[in-house]
Structure 1
Amino acid sequence: MTDAQTRAPHGGVTATTDPTTGEVEASALFGTTPERLFRAITTKEICTWWVRPGVFNTEDWSGDVREGGRWAAAGIGGGQPYQLEGEFVTVEDPRRLAQTWTPVGAPFEPALLTYDLTPQPGGVHLTLRHSGLPNADVCEKTRAGWETSLARLQEIIAAEKE
């Protein structure tokens, strides 16, 4: 990413932000199968890992996981209720998922969230790109959110092997 700010890895997650393009990129390795990881990003299981203690907590998620299908999430963020919604743009189970991302009521254009899952020895490499974010502040908050959320998902996946 050009002019990106790189942050120290959190739980093996690397996340960068490029406020000039409104993009966040995060990557992590998961010791599981692409099918298992795809399920984690396309079911209500999201509620267990879309969390950042003291900042946001996803309490509900629903989705019609097909191209053109809708999704919605709700929870508490910054002490206030929040709602997100969007549409699935690309669904290539278990390799790729792209969806629009819109905070309900926010004056922003929809952002695009893309997950790419690449099998490799010992697991799956996940690259997440969240693009179309409106400003540097939103980019930084989004980077921090994805960093901690993906670290939480790594913990959940690792605990399944124990």
Structure 2
Amino acid sequence: MTRRELGDAATTVVAEGSELLIERVFAAPRELVWAAMTTAEHLAQWIGPHGTTTEVVELDVRPGGRWKWINRYDGGEIAFLGEFLEVDPPKRLVRTTAPDMEPAGGPPAVETITFEEVDGGTRVYWLTRFPSPEVLDYAVDSGMIKGILEQFDRLAGLLAPGSWSPAARSDVSPR
């Protein structure tokens, strides 16, 4: 597969080979971005495209811990699940990810998410290694990129100044 630039003005998305790289800077401290991505209450507010609701069924953020959430949308739902392989708060997460469907669609993808402090915010690098270029092509062709861009917009809204009170920013809890 050739390199494909699939992002928008706010979010870089590049697909190449069997890898998908997503990069975005959020206007929030690293600890707050980490909390939004590793706490069930916060994750449910942004994961998935516009118009979806998310139920976080399981979220055990530790090496060997499992996770599962269900995105519900008009007319259906899709569940995703995986296992945390590495957890280094608030710097790095490595986890497996796959749709929860029968029959199983093969080996899971592996996501490595890093959180880098930058002037005025946090840069998130989200690298997903799919089992093969064909699996990545299938995911991209099924509309995955639209969902990624929309969920990152939802996350940016959740993290926007004024969305979390100053006291909440100090203990990374929502108001």
Structures share a fold, TM > 0.5? yes
Residue type of the alignment partner of 2:139: V
Q: Gapped runs of 5+ residues in structure 2?
A: 166-175
CA distance in 2, matches of 1:107, 1:150: 26
Q: Greater strand percent: which structure? A: 1
User: Which residue matches 1:81?
Assistant: 77
User: Which residue matches 1:71?
Assistant: 67
8 Å contact 1:26–1:143 — kept in the other structure? no
Q: Return the index of the structure with the highest Cα Rg.
A: 2
8 Å contact 1:47–1:61 — kept in the other structure? no
User: Which residue matches 1:120?
Assistant: 118
User: Which residue matches 1:48?
Assistant: 45
User: Which residue matches 2:5?
Assistant: 6
May I ask how many residue pairs the two structures share in their alignment? 157
Residue type of the alignment partner of 2:2: D
2:144 aligns to what SS in structure 1?
helix
For normalisation by structure 2, the TM-score amounts to 0.79
8 Å contact 2:7–2:14 — kept in the other structure? no
Counting aligned pairs with the same residue, the percent is: 24
8 Å contact 2:56–2:70 — kept in the other structure? yes
8 Å contact 2:130–2:136 — kept in the other structure? no
CA distance in 2, matches of 1:77, 1:139: 19
Do the aligned partners of residues 156 and 22 (structure 1) sit closer, same or farther apart at CA in structure 2, a change above 3 Å counting?
A: same
Q: Does 1:16 align with 2:14?
A: yes
For normalisation by structure 1, the TM-score amounts to 0.85
Residue type of the alignment partner of 1:37: V
Report the alpha carbon displacement of residue 61 of structure 1 after superposing the two structures with TM.
4.2
Q: Once superposed, what is the RMSD of the aligned Cα atoms?
A: 2.2
Deviating more after overlay: 78-87 vs 96-105 = 78-87
Report the alpha carbon displacement of residue 78 of structure 1 after superposing the two structures with TM.
7.1
User: Which residue matches 2:109?
Assistant: 111
Report the alpha carbon displacement of residue 143 of structure 1 after superposing the two structures with TM.
2.6
Match of 1:160 among 160, 163, 168: 163
2:58 aligns to what SS in structure 1?
strand
2:24 aligns to what SS in structure 1?
strand
